Structure 1
Amino acid sequence: MIAPETIDSYEAGVKTTWAGGRLTANVAAFWTDVQDYQTTIIDIERNGVSFFTNAAKVRTRGFEADVRMTPTRWLTLYGSGTYDDARYISYANAPCPIEITGRTLCDLSGRKLPGVSEWAASAGGEVRAPLANMAGRPGEVYFGGDYSYRSSTNSTASLSRYSVIPAYDLLNLRLGFRTDDGLFDIQLWGRNVTDETYFLSRAAANTGAITGTLGDPRTYGVTLRTRL
């Protein structure tokens, strides 16, 4: 029988606007306690059977901040960051990771929660320049980029060392032309332009096989948007 989760959550923050609205900055702190946290685990003693169960208690706490700035009409900058200390507070009867043999239960109390990066950040911006005539309409050319970073995390509830997803960062770029009336927007874009190799998930089976799902490699494309 799966017990229901009980969640106590607290948050406090400040939202600010400066320079006549050209700069916004927000910051918040959070604390969440989860009793009978529900999670899916894999039992390596039963040929990798997965099942739903409760972890006794989980806590997440940290802070987040974001800022957006438009110093001129033709430039926008933005960024955000999060620190999240997410842990099993009490999980004495947890399944053991695959690298531990001869035992079926392990104490994961105090260990980091899977699927949550301790640090995450993103930043980006866009610069624009007006064009007097784009197919007979006023418009603009623009160039922008987005950068994101995630620290390492684990992708399985048992916290096996073979399920660690290393930290990675990604860079996306775009160049385009658009009319002021929205008739068309033509954009050349590149995602993961540094061709970073990174994992979305990793897991180990009791056969010794380690599997993982990779994120998208360097990708380029063209997008045309129109509004009739």
Structure 2
Amino acid sequence: MSREYLSSHVTSWGVILLLIMWPYVALFHWLPPYSRKYSDKRALLLRRNAAVHTLYHPASDAGVMMSIGYLYVLLSDWGLSLALATNTIGPLLMAKYFSPLLLKGRGAFGAQSSDRSKQHNGIIVNMSAKVGSISDNGLGGWYSYRISKSALNMATKCLSIELGRGKNKVICVSLHPGTVETDLSRPYHKNVPKEKLFSPERSVTYLMAIIDSLNMDRTGRFYSWNGTELQW
């Protein structure tokens, strides 16, 4: 996905696609366990690896997937902390700082209601994942990734309630972009049918179609790339 492609769609405060991940790099300094429990060298390598994930995929992947959190026997406090800092805390803090601007937006994106009491000023889209659905979890595993995306979904729900109360309103939804052809998902490409492995551009096209259809009646929900609603 090119920056030019995104900029052609996101041109006002009416919508914020929480896809741009590079600001989250600063969050890794928030994790004290690295410096206390592990060597400085190990901490530096882990932070550098996380930074590479965010910087090299600024608009196609809103998170990190830690292989060390795949099985419960491989769980660690620093792995869970990293996943939560990147996949949950980062988007929530961005929502915190951007919401005052969105509440003053023009509502240029989405399907604006004719009912003035249901009109919205902006849209917040959190990039979640289907594996973050508790109801859909029939396989287990991927603890850090699943937990962080489930927590992000809860943040989306909370934001939708708080930002939907006043005169000025912001729509808040979580979206599952499908399996996108990035380095993050590369180890699993062989298990994905060719027609379900999306280029970043194709995934954004699907997501923008959903965003263009959003209104206040659809806020606080979790949607897949094809527009179907996913269960929390």
Pick the TM interval, shorter chain.
under 0.3
Question: What TM-score does the superposition give when structure 1 sets the normalisation length?
Answer: 0.26
Choose between structure 1 and 2 for higher RCO, CA contacts under 8 A separated by at least 6 residues. Answer: 2
| Structure with greater helix share of residues | 2
| Structure with greater strand share of residues | 1
Higher radius of gyration, 1 or 2: 1
